[in-house]
């Protein structure tokens, strides 16, 4: 029987912590012979968000090139499904049999987390697979 390769999901939004998540996923993919799925989530994709969509697409192209330069299989996905980023990542992971999720976390005060929520926190608590967080 053919061995199925490990699949790593990276949530990417262009921030420094997300770039660190890409770097860690690249290291894990090399170590485990894994393929990588890079996901950017947007809640809405209206006409007024065209610039945001184009920026997200450029970010995904950058991420893909980072993996391809080392011969790591990488697919990118821009999800606009009306879900929060955390919900999108968990749902995508479930739909695609992801083995590990890598997310960047931003340093926030307790009040900031309470007011704004945390995508990474949602993913860590809700995902069915291991989640690695990077600062």
**Residue 59 resides in a domain:** yes
Tens-digit pLDDT profile for residues 93-106: 999 999 999 998 87
Tens-digit pLDDT profile for residues 47-91: 667 888 899 999 999 999 999 999 999 999 999 999 999 999 999
In angstroms, the Cα distances linking 1 to 7, 22, 25, 84, 98 are: 18, 31, 27, 38, 20
Domain hosting residue 43, numbered range: 7-134
**Residue 1 resides in a domain:** no
| Positive or negative torsion for Cα 89, 63, 17, 26 | positive
**Residue 43 resides in a domain:** yes
Domain tally for the chain? 1
* Chain mean position to CA 129: 14
What's the CATH code of the domain at 38?
3.40.50.620
| Residue indicated by tokens 């949602």 | 122
**Residue 94 resides in a domain:** yes
Tell me the pTM.
Answer: 0.89
- Give the residue among 116, 51, 59 at the shortest CA–CA distance from 85: 116
Q: Give the Cα separation of 64 and 75 in Å (integer).
A: 7
The helix-helix angle for 16-32 and 50-68 (nearest 10°) equals 30
Tens-digit pLDDT profile for residues 14-29: 999 999 999 999 999 9
With residue 22 as reference, give the H or E element that holds it.
Answer: helix 16-32
**Residue 2 resides in a domain:** no
**Residue 114 resides in a domain:** yes
């Amino acid at each position: 029987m053919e061995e199925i390769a490990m699949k790593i999901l990276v949530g990417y939004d262009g921030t420094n912590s997300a770039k660190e998540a890409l770097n860690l996923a690249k290291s894990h993919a090399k170590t485990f012979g894994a393929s990588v799925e890079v996901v950017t989530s947007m809640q809405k994709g209206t006409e007024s968000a065209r610039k945001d969509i184009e920026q997200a697409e450029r970010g995904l192209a950058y991420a893909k090139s980072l993996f391809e330069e080392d011969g790591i299989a990488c697919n990118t996905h821009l999800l606009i499904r009306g879900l929060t980023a955390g919900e999108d990542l968990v749902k995508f992971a479930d739909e695609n049999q992801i083995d590990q999720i890598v997310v960047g976390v931003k340093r926030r005060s307790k009040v900031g987390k309470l007011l704004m929520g945390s995508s990474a926190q949602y993913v860590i608590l809700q995902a069915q697979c291991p989640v690695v967080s990077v600062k």
